Chain A
Amino acid sequence: MKLLFERSVPGRGMDLLPACDVPAAEFDPSLLRGAAPHLPEISEIDLGRHYTELAKQTHGVNDGFYPLGSCTMKYNPRVNEEMAALPGFTQIHPLQPIETVQGCLEALYTAEQLLCEITGMDGMTLQPAAGAHGEYTGLQLIRSYHLSRGDTARNKIIVPDSAHGTNPASASMVGYKVVSIPSNPEGGVDLEALRAAVGPDTAGLMLTNPNTVGLFDPNILEITKIVHDAGGLCYYDGANLNAVMGHVRPGDMGFDCVHLNLHKTFSTPHGGGGPGSGPAGCKEFLKPFLPTPHVKKTETGYELYAPEQSMGKVRSFYGNFLVVLKALTYVLTLGKEGIPEASAGAVLNANYMMSKLVGSYDMACNGLCMHEFVMDLSRQAHDYGFTAMDVAKRLLDFGMHPPTMYFPLIVHEALMIEPTETESPETLDEAAEVYLKILAEGMEDAEKLHHAPLNCAISRPDEVGAARNPVVRYTFEA
């Protein structure tokens, strides 16, 4: 399809701004650019059609099944959008006097209280703009705590080898050295390896539970105790909270701080649907280090304050406020009964779909899963010559988004499926049928799968070429 630059015709356009009714200001010529910028000139209808065409080539959760493992692509209820669009929330300025935005502060305060209740934490900042940003903030809490005690020797963060890649990355950003420990055969933390890794230089442990193969670690209390006994703190990556929300709480598992992904667990949009939000929560003893400003409730209303040993700001103002509102709407809509029902549904759906595929596909781990399961295509790759990548590409032909591929890294030909609770049994039946059909296709004619997708606008883009020689700007004709 044509780019906007290629649709541009000189002189064409739409007047979005009214005519200027004040005298034009003169700029110092040294501040002006020599040539006009190459802005596309295009009519509103052509612009609209351009983006509609792009939208048609994408696949969102509103288009069809989207079981992207570890991403919790659940439905984003419309009521969330309606609440976040209320003028009392949108027609405000972040610097207006707080007595005029008491409702907004109350919404932030309520969201913090409810998310703390769900996670078993005592305080939370809503500033971080995404999951990795929340990780960074949580690790800064850990760092601030050790430094406040004059304990400067703790410079290592322990991360299991099954962890999300953002964990070691966030730890490095905070200035910590990352110690990777192996998983046990069940995909959980190897207790002996953990005992051997902890010491006076341990700042903390980062962990997802359930872990990345979709299993709840039965040794979780022992794990957090080993780290605490060594003087370290425990950080909970909330990526997989959708499996246990309302049933168990990270705070009760022994974690000292957490981050949540509101765009996963709490039904706010991912990516193009709006920015993310990654609140970071903590136990009472870490609250003094939380970012500023923080909302508190007083007898006369809601106020903003700086926690006494605050790490400062991690983002401008109060974070992605409207995203927090959508998550708050979700929590209030589901309520105390609905929250655990949602996570139970997520686990039920994952097990239902897994039960339809087990026996045909090899599972990375046997037995029941939590909210997601990992299939391993190593046997098919070896015996028939088709891989997880080929299955994923073929799924596109059936109007489904592929699952997460090649993650976790400890499973070589991984396909990681997370259906979420918002899919119906009919959708799961249909999806399972497609997965079985593709498997049969591959066993009969692996070569066909190597060329998939066969019916999409684009077949296999040159990913290697794109990564090695990315073209990231448009070159205008001279």
Chain B
Amino acid sequence: MSNIPAELKYSASHEWVKEEDGVFVIGLTDYAQSALGDIVFINLPEEGDEVTAGESFADVESVKAVSDVFSPVTGTICAVNEELLDDPAQVNEDPYGAWLVKVENVTATEELLDAEGYAAVVEAEEA
């Protein structure tokens, strides 16, 4: 059973979101990293890039496949976790610590799920 912290919000496409004083921190969920398998490469946007809710802003490559990461919010990237570029394994080891990007000036968000709602999404995918 994958780890789904109660204090975070989630998208149905397996990103987690944490709001800190108007800045949205985004990462990949435990279920996402486990489904992907060992991540070998992460392609991240740059500070200042605009992201749009529901559209791809990054991609992750595992031994299995390359997958898009979708932004749960519309806004401007204000920080990028550049450590992941050299050490993408952090996402496998600590998915809720290894954030990907922080977004500010957020004007819209996808319909975000709470932990219970997201657990139902994961359960449906595993069924």
User: A and B from one assembly?
Assistant: yes
Q: Which of B41, B63, B67, B89 neighbours the largest number of chain A CB atoms within 10 Å of its CB? A: B63
B66: CB under 8 A from chain A?
yes
A463 is an interface residue with CB less than 8 A from chain B: yes
Task: Give how many A residues have a beta carbon under 8 Å from the other chain's beta carbons.
Answer: 12
Are B64 and A464 within 8 A (Cβ)? no
Are the C-beta atoms of A467 and B63 separated by less than 8 Å? yes
Asked if A409 contacts B41 (CB within 8 A), the reply is no
A175-225 interface with B by 8 A CB criterion: 180
Q: Would you give the shortest CB distance from A81 to chain B, in whole angstroms?
A: 35
In the complex, the number of residue pairs spanning A and B with C-beta atoms less than 8 Å apart equals 24
Distance, CA A464 to CA B63, complexed state (A): 6
A217 to chain B minimum Cβ distance, whole angstroms, is 23
Q: Is A283 in the interface zone, CB < 8 Å from B?
A: no
Question: B40 and A464: CB pair below 8 A?
Answer: yes
Is there a chain A Cβ closer than 8 Å to B35's Cβ? yes
Q: Which residues of B contact A38 (CB under 8 A)?
A: none
Contact among B67, B68, B89 with A468 in the assembled complex (CB-CB below 8 Å): B89
Residues of B close to A409: CB separation below 8 A: 65, 67
CB-defined interface of A400-414 with B at 8 Å, one 1/0 digit per residue? Answer: 000001110100100
Within 8 A of A (CB), among B13-50: 35, 38, 40-41
In the complex, what's the smallest C-beta–C-beta distance from B69 to chain A, in angstroms?
13
Please measure, in the bound complex, the distance between the C-alpha atom of A232 and the C-alpha atom of B89, giving whole angstroms.
41
Main DSSP-derived SS at the B contact region: mixed
Q: Is the CB–CB distance between A406 and B64 below 8 Å?
A: yes
Query: Across the interface, do A468 and B65 meet the contact criterion of CB distance under 8 Å?
Result: no
Q: Using an 8 Å CB-CB cutoff, how does the interface string of A372-404 with B read, 1 for contact, 0 for none?
A: 000000000010000000000000000000000
Query: Across the interface, which residues of A come within 8 angstroms of B35, CB to CB?
Result: 412
**Is A335 close to B, CB under 8 A?**
no
- A463 CA / B62 CA spacing, docked (Å): 10
Q: Across the interface, do B41 and A467 meet the contact criterion of CB distance under 8 Å?
A: yes
Q: Are B38 and A464 in contact (CB under 8 A)?
A: yes
Q: Are A406 and B65 in contact (CB under 8 A)?
A: yes
A275 within 8 Å of B by Cβ? no
Q: Is A165 an interface residue (CB 8 A)?
A: yes
* A180 contacts across to B, CB distance below 8 A: 68
A467 touches B40 (CB 8 A): yes
Contact of B40 among A165, A406, A412, A468 (CB under 8 A): A468
A415 to chain B, nearest CB (A): 13
Contacts of B38 in A (CB 8 A): 463-464
- The interface residues of chain B lying within 8 Å CB-to-CB of A467 are 40-41, 61, 63
B residues in contact with A463, CB < 8 Å: 38, 63
Identify which of B41, B61, B65 gathers the most chain A CB atoms within 10 Å of its CB: B65
Separation of A158 and B14 alpha carbons in the complex (Å): 23
Instruction: Kindly list chain B residues whose C-beta atoms are within 8 Å of the C-beta of A406.
Output: 64-65
Nearest CB in chain B to that of A179: its residue: B55
Inter-chain CA distance A180–B88, complex, in Å, is: 25
Q: How far is the CA of A468 from the CA of B38 in the complex (A)?
A: 10
Chain A residues in 8 Å Cβ range of B126: 382
A405 contacts which chain B residues (CB < 8 A)?
64
**Chain A residues in 8 Å Cβ range of B66:** 165
* Bound complex: CA A409 to CA B37 (Å): 13
Listed in ascending order, the chain A residues whose CB lies under 8 Å from chain B are 165, 180, 382, 405-407, 409, 412, 463-464, 467-468
8 CB-based A-B contacts, threshold 8 Å: A180-B68, A405-B64, A406-B64, A407-B65, A409-B65, A467-B40, A468-B40, A468-B88
Q: Given A405-B64, A407-B65, A464-B63, output 18 extra A-B contacts at Cβ < 8 Å.
A: A165-B65, A165-B66, A180-B68, A406-B64, A406-B65, A409-B65, A409-B67, A412-B35, A463-B38, A463-B63, A464-B40, A467-B40, A467-B61, A467-B63, A468-B40, A468-B41, A468-B88, A468-B89
Q: What are the 3 tightest A-B residue pairs by CB atom distance, in nearest-first order?
A: A467-B40, A464-B38, A406-B64
